[in-house]
Amino acid sequence: NFSPSSLSLLFPINPSSPVPSHLAQLPIRLGFSPTWHTQHRLRLHDAELAPPLLVACARPRKMLLFLIRHGETVDNVAGIYAGSRDSGLTSHGVLQIRRLAAHLAERPASIKFIYSSDLQRAVKTADAIAAEQKRVCSRDIPVVEFPELREKDFGSDEGLKFGDSRGRAPDSETAESMKARVDAFLDRHLLPLVSSQPDESAACAIVSHGIILGVLYRELCARVSRGGITVDPNPSAASSLISPPFWDNTGFLECTVSINSAGADEDKSLPLKLHVQRVNCTVHLKDLKKTRGGIGSAAYDEKQRTLTSFFVPGSKKRKSHDMSAG
């Protein structure tokens, strides 16, 4: 069902597992009937990489994007190459993602979409954001996982300490490979979403990893028309135009992407504009100190409870995966 101002989804749905109506507008085409899980998470491993189905919009579209790095992991602390490794969050990392989730829930931006790498350190960060959006804003947002958003695969260097590697491993993922999967994500998922979204107050949180976020940002900038990148007048944002931005754990780059598809060229390309508001924003981590004695750097135990949780009614009934719990 196409209209001049929207994009539709060819999405075979399992009648016994209905999908929320707002997910049915995701700009992707799937070659299978997915099962809708109770966790409200959709994995796109088997998604058909269909060409973007874009229709000219009657007016420009824009969307606020949060490009977010996951919380601190055990391998981050150990200084280990961990791209495809599914390294778990530390106890400090869980505190970071809770701070991040609370900060985003307090923002006036209306997060309506949450996209994530399918590696667990990113998924748990995204889950925390979704849980806090539901608790504070009463928005039930599914976390949609994309393998295209995984971190760089370091090949045989995976699991080695920084400095132990003798140059780049021959089986390490190439820059061309990372660019190809980021291009697929942008052209087949993110940009069609922006083009089809009539609500200009809508925002999308994208949770991924340090290296691949840099590739994502560069490829997004590469699609911007000449003179189409602007920044807020602060040093951190301005520096992003000179050198690739950097992400600390739970740091985020905040930007607004605008599409004027009514003025698209004959080659179907979309004229984009990008306004960068914040780079590596970690204001939510202010005054957060890591617990000493190695506790903060240890792997987070999802069964552990804080002192506060013992005094919260019904806390025993909370599920271990509820990252918004104390």
Higher per-residue pLDDT: 183 or 32:
183
Range of lowest pLDDT (12-21, 92-101, 183-192, 226-235): 12-21
Distance CA(18)–CA(40), nearest Å, equals 11
Residue 29's pLDDT is 35
Residue 297's pLDDT is 56
Q: Which residue range(s) make up the domain with 65? A: 40-317
Give the mean pLDDT of 98-112: 94
- Examine residue 35 and state whether it is found in any structural domain, yes or no: no
Range of lowest pLDDT (133-142, 249-258, 317-326): 317-326
Residue 136's pLDDT is 93
Distance CA(280)–CA(253), nearest Å, equals 5
Give the mean pLDDT of 311-319: 39
List residues forming the annotated binding site for substrate. Answer: 69-76, 121
User: Is pLDDT of 166 > 50?
Assistant: yes
Distance CA(76)–CA(136), nearest Å, equals 30
Where residue 101 sits, what CATH number does that domain have? Answer: 3.40.50.1240
Residue 238's pLDDT is 55
Residue 257's pLDDT is 94
Distance CA(42)–CA(115), nearest Å, equals 10
Q: Classify residue 138 by burial, with Cβ atoms within 10 Å: 0-12, 13-18, 19+.
A: exposed
143: left (phi over 0), alpha (psi -120 to 50) or beta: beta
Residue 300's pLDDT is 60
Residue 321's pLDDT is 35
Residue 299's pLDDT is 67
- Examine residue 16 and state whether it is found in any structural domain, yes or no: no
Residue 163's pLDDT is 79
When divided into structural domains, the chain yields a total of 1
- Is 200 part of the annotated catalytic residue set? no
User: Is pLDDT of 25 > 70?
Assistant: no
- Examine residue 272 and state whether it is found in any structural domain, yes or no: yes
Residue 262's pLDDT is 52
- Is 103 part of the annotated catalytic residue set? no
Residue 235's pLDDT is 56
- Examine residue 181 and state whether it is found in any structural domain, yes or no: yes
Band of pLDDT at residue 292, cut at 50, 70 and 90: low
Q: Which of 70, 92, 189, 284 is catalytic?
A: 70
In the chain, the percentage of residues whose pLDDT exceeds 90 is 48
Band of pLDDT at residue 239, cut at 50, 70 and 90: low
- Examine residue 83 and state whether it is found in any structural domain, yes or no: yes
This prediction has a pTM of 0.74
- Examine residue 28 and state whether it is found in any structural domain, yes or no: no
User: Is pLDDT of 207 > 70?
Assistant: yes
Higher per-residue pLDDT: 199 or 262:
199
> What is the residue type of 221?
C
Q: Which of 145, 151, 173, 254 is catalytic?
A: 151
User: Is pLDDT of 26 > 70?
Assistant: no
Residue 58: partners with Cβ closer than 8 Å, 6 or more residues away: 4, 5, 262
Placement of tokens 């695969």 in the chain = 153
Residue 298: partners with Cβ closer than 8 Å, 6 or more residues away: 74, 90, 91
User: Is pLDDT of 66 > 90?
Assistant: yes
Q: What is the 3-state secondary structure (H, E, C) of the chain?
A: CCECCECCCCCCCCCCCCCCCCHHHCCCCECCCCCCCCCCEEECCCECCCCCCCCCCCCCEEEEEEEEECCCEHHHHHCECCCCCCCCEEHHHHHHHHHHHHHHHHCCCEEEEEEEECCHHHHHHHHHHHHHHHHHHCCCCCEEEEHHHCCCCCHHHCCCECCCCCCCCCCCCCHHHHHHHHHHHHHHHHHHHHHHCCCCCEEEEEEECHHHHHHHHHHHHHCEEEEEEEECCCHHHHHCCCCCCCCCCCCEEEEEEEECHHHCCCCCCCCEEEEEEEEEECHHHCCCCCCCCCCCCCECCCCCCCCHHHHCCCHHHCCCCCCCCC
Q: What is the 3-state secondary structure (H, E, C) of 112-154?
A: EEEEEECCHHHHHHHHHHHHHHHHHHCCCCCEEEEHHHCCCCC
Distance CA(44)–CA(145), nearest Å, equals 6
Distance CA(201)–CA(211), nearest Å, equals 29
Residue 52's pLDDT is 43
- Examine residue 18 and state whether it is found in any structural domain, yes or no: no
- Examine residue 322 and state whether it is found in any structural domain, yes or no: no
Distance CA(297)–CA(287), nearest Å, equals 17
Higher per-residue pLDDT: 91 or 309:
91
Give the mean pLDDT of 20-45: 41
User: Is pLDDT of 12 > 50?
Assistant: no
